[in-house]
Amino acid sequence: MKPRRLPYGTKNISGANIERLRKAQNMKQGELVSQMQLLGVDINPSSLSKLEGQQRVATDMELRAIARIFHVTIDALVPSFEEI
């Protein structure tokens, strides 16, 4: 597994949790992209990488699909203000 080259950005607060969940399941970004596309979310590997790196905003449709794929609630993806 390659280490993160850049620090997390400030465009969303869910990217780090999404990356953590994906890696905990030994899932590659391409696999997550494929599963999201099957759920009707138009996303590519570069866009997912930017989402995980908090370099772009996450849409509600993306969060809903990711929560469904990982069998968690959307709240599990979005940390509370106390956790930030």
Which pLDDT tens digits describe the chain residue by residue (84 residues)? 566 677 889 999 999 999 999 999 999 999 999 999 999 999 999 999 999 999 999 999 999 999 999 999 999 999 876 666
Chain centroid offset of residue 81 CA: 18
DSSP tag of 2: P
Is residue 69 within 8 A of residue 36, CB to CB? The reply is yes
Domains of the chain are: 15-73 (1.10.260.40)
Per the listing, tokens 């990711």 go with: 66
- What's this model's pTM, rounded to 2 decimal places? 0.88
Is residue 7 within 8 A of residue 55, CB to CB? The reply is no
**The two structure tokens encoding residue 74:** 């959307």
